[in-house]
Amino acid sequence: MNRDQAPADHPEVQSGRIGVLLVNLGTPDAPTPAAVRRYLAEFLSDPRVVEIPRAVWWPILHGIILRTRPRKSAHAYAQVWAPQGSPLAVITAAQAADLQVRLGRGVQVGWAMRYGQPALAKELARLKIAGCDRILLAPLYPQYSGATTATVIDALGIALKAMRWQPTMRTLPPYYDDPAHIAALHGDITRQLAALDFAPEVLLLSFHGMPERTLHLADPYHCQCRKTARLLTEALAVSHPALRVEISFQSRFGRAKWLEPATDAVLATLAGEGTKRIAIAAPGFSADCLETREELAIRGRAQFLAAGGEQFAVLDCLNDGAVGMAMLETLVRRELAGWVE
């Protein structure tokens, strides 16, 4: 028998394939208090997400938050839940499917959530079993934060630790100032502004908030959001010179001081100062989710109109649209260089 030939009873082992695993933040399995409680318990137990000593945080989390917040959050999720599931999961799955077509059969594309399902460890193992021994992990966060990108890398390390035969890994860098990202944002926002039935006076760029202390602890998130906003504003100044662009941070939680200005406060202030027509874009999100479709599109609208505004629009994220997917393909192909032609 050929010394390189496997024995007849040797199990078949797949190898030699390339994989890409898209990862987003997470979502509950259903818009119910029980499902939201499970999701929040995992999410808010991550020490990178809540940087409070466990002895202090644990009684607050289990004694107050997980007893009171799930019902309120479930109601919010129910307002935006699609027949196929949560917007974030539906869109991330669509992004993976479209990227699979774009990359072809030589690359296997999967998707996972950092919190909730499908779990990162499970999807990484699935790609490995399918023969992917070289995998690009792609966190879909344009801007880096310890509470987002770093937690994905943490989960990757835990998943790899459980594997005897580990795949070779690469990770997609943050792309907050990548020319392809800025061009995609500019092109897609321009398209959506043209489709509105009114001309906004202000375009508000709303990013997810973080506690202000993260900035002082050298987390680059705030600076990267600001740079995304600056580059996008410069592009819009050429195409939309009459449009005023502002920046804000949403989703404040708890008593700590958060990055400012806060989106809800900015909406009220703008309306109070006489702004009647506004559009909001969320260039820190790769896909629409609870924070864009409920917090901005429903609560944000109510806040603006109640303060005296008249016309309000929330623009879609890049999602799985043609412009956004072309950008994602560009970024992924760049990181696959040397693995695929």
CB 110 within 8 A of CB 123: yes
CB 313 within 8 A of CB 196: yes
- Reference 275, options 250, 304, 300; nearest CA is 304
Regions of the chain where pLDDT drops below 70: 1-13
Q: Which residues pair with 20 in a beta bridge?
A: 109, 136
CA distance 300 to 251: 11
pLDDT digits (tens, 9 = 90+) for 178-219: 999 999 999 999 999 999 999 999 999 999 999 999 999 999
pLDDT digits (tens, 9 = 90+) for 132-144: 999 999 999 999 9
Q: Please count the other Cβ atoms lying within 10 Å of the Cβ belonging to residue 82.
A: 11
Max CA distance (Å), the chain: 85
Per-residue CA distances from 274 to 233, 278, 312 (Å): 22, 11, 14
18 sits in which H/E element: strand 17-27
Structure tokens at 95: 């992004």
pLDDT at 56: 96
CA distance 20 to 169: 10
pLDDT at 49: 96
Q: Domains, the chain, ranges and CATH?
A: 17-174+325-335 (3.40.50.1400), 179-314 (3.40.50.1400)
pLDDT at 11: 61
Per-residue CA distances from 330 to 183, 187, 244, 249 (Å): 12, 15, 30, 28
Q: What is the mean pLDDT of the chain?
A: 96
